Amino acid sequence: MKKKNPISAFLSSREGALAVFVVICFVVLCLTTNLVGSMFVYLRDLSYLLVGGLALMMVILLGEIDISSGTVLGLIGFCSFTLVQRNVPLIICILVGILVGMLNSLVVGFITVRFRVPSMIVSLAMVKLHIGLFSLLPNAGYVSNIDPAITAVGTMRIGPFPAMLFISFILLAFFCWLMKYTPYGRKVYAVGGSAESAVLAGINSDKIKIKTYLVSGALLGVTAVMYWLPKTQVQPSSCMGMEMYFLPIAVVGGVSIMGGSGRPIGILVASFLIALLQRASYLLDLGTQWMYLSYGVIVLVAVYSMFAEIPFLKKRGRTEKGGGGNA
């Protein structure tokens, strides 16, 4: 049997079709706006969106969700940059941010796994907890007058590209390898596909879920650092709703909300699209309302196409239709 060309295989896949759409949108915006002139900002936004999308991908692959992934960025920003203001070495501040992200995700994962509470409810409770904490923090968590030497790290270039872009691509390559070639990656897909079947196969599904929540939390820590580093001030409340950047990336990128299906390469393509929409709303002066509207439409289309591909839903639909006819 003749082996299919890798390029043809990709273009015929869900991710390939999305990539073609992204390229068309990119070309149109380059011709109609000053996207080329703001390319550095676009790629810098792409960097943190990609890592945040990977964080949500890991949780959704389990068939779970974490909507606290937005507000926790504000909490991480406060913790890390308060230390920066006290002249703590930047690397220590970054590690603290990653640890805060992991702690948040550990709480969500532990309650979800130990007490069998839906992750949606647990993470929603964490969102409310974060918002309450913001109001109790000194100056509502606002950190200003960040040393320009620190913000310069966030805007560092390697050639014409943001240095953070290379970090995000390294993480992407690592997770492509992790999810495809390691026992851990195969176990995540197995648990997300069917936790019961995974247990029968000898997989400790609870342990895999906790590990995966920790991995997601670490990625959220990196996301927060990437997001806040170029800025001269930290305002935690501004992160409320940022999960609505990462969730569309995961869903549009082909990660099944039922769990057990999705690839990091899809997250990359979807990140290009969401970052493009974000930049287009600014360049065309459309306002955030149109940006969120476009997110909603894209997610609805992605979810519809996803469910249309699930065999048991198709079968269920035919059965219900047949049952109605017999009635």
Cα(168)–Cα(181) distance, rounded to whole angstroms?
A: 20
Provide the pLDDT confidence category of residue 314 given band limits of 50, 70 and 90: very low
In a domain, 101, yes or no: yes
In a domain, 6, yes or no: no
Residue pair 54/219 in contact (Cβ under 8 Å)? The answer is: yes
In a domain, 2, yes or no: no
Per-residue pLDDT tens for 186-206? 999 999 999 999 999 999 999
Cα(141)–Cα(91) distance, rounded to whole angstroms?
A: 21
Average pLDDT over residues 284-300: 80
Per-residue pLDDT tens for 41-94? 999 999 999 999 999 999 999 999 999 999 999 999 999 999 999 999 999 999
In a domain, 44, yes or no: yes
Two structure tokens written together for 232? 């001269």
In a domain, 123, yes or no: yes
Is residue 257 over pLDDT 60? yes
Q: How many other β-carbons are positioned within 10 Å of the β-carbon of residue 267? A: 30
Mean per-residue pLDDT of the chain: 90
- Which residues constitute the domain of residue 297? 13-326
Average pLDDT over residues 166-170: 98
Give the dihedral sign, CA 227/232/236/239. negative
Provide the pLDDT confidence category of residue 12 given band limits of 50, 70 and 90: confident
In a domain, 180, yes or no: yes
In a domain, 262, yes or no: yes
* Domain CATH for 91: 1.10.3470
In a domain, 202, yes or no: yes
The count of domains in the chain is 1
